[in-house]
Amino acid sequence: MAEKKGTPLPKRVVRTITLTQDDLDLLDGIERVMSRTGQRIKTDSKLIRASIQIAHSALHDKAFDVLKIAEKVVREDGRTLSKMLEKEKNS
Given this model, what pLDDT does residue 56 score?
95
The phi, psi pair for 50, rounded to 5°, reads -65, -45
Structure letter (DSSP) for residue 43: S
CA dist., res. 77 & res. 41, Å (int): 10
Measured CA angle at 65 (ends 64, 71), to 5 deg: 125
CA dist., res. 22 & res. 68, Å (int): 26
Least confident interval from 10-14, 27-31, 63-67, 80-84 = 80-84
Q: Which residue has the higher pLDDT, 78 or 86?
A: 78
Mean pLDDT across the chain: 79
Please name which of 39, 24, 43, 28 lies closest in space to residue 69, comparing C-alpha atoms.
39
Q: Which residue has the higher pLDDT, 83 or 23?
A: 23
Please name which of 76, 78, 59 lies closest in space to residue 68, comparing C-alpha atoms.
76
What is the pLDDT averaged over residues 21-34? 86
Residues 37-74 pLDDT 10s: 777 777 788 888 888 999 999 999 999 998 888 888 88
The answer to whether the predicted template modeling score (pTM) of the entire model surpasses 0.95 is no
CA dist., res. 79 & res. 12, Å (int): 12
Residue ranges of the domains in the chain?
Answer: 21-90
Structure letter (DSSP) for residue 7: P
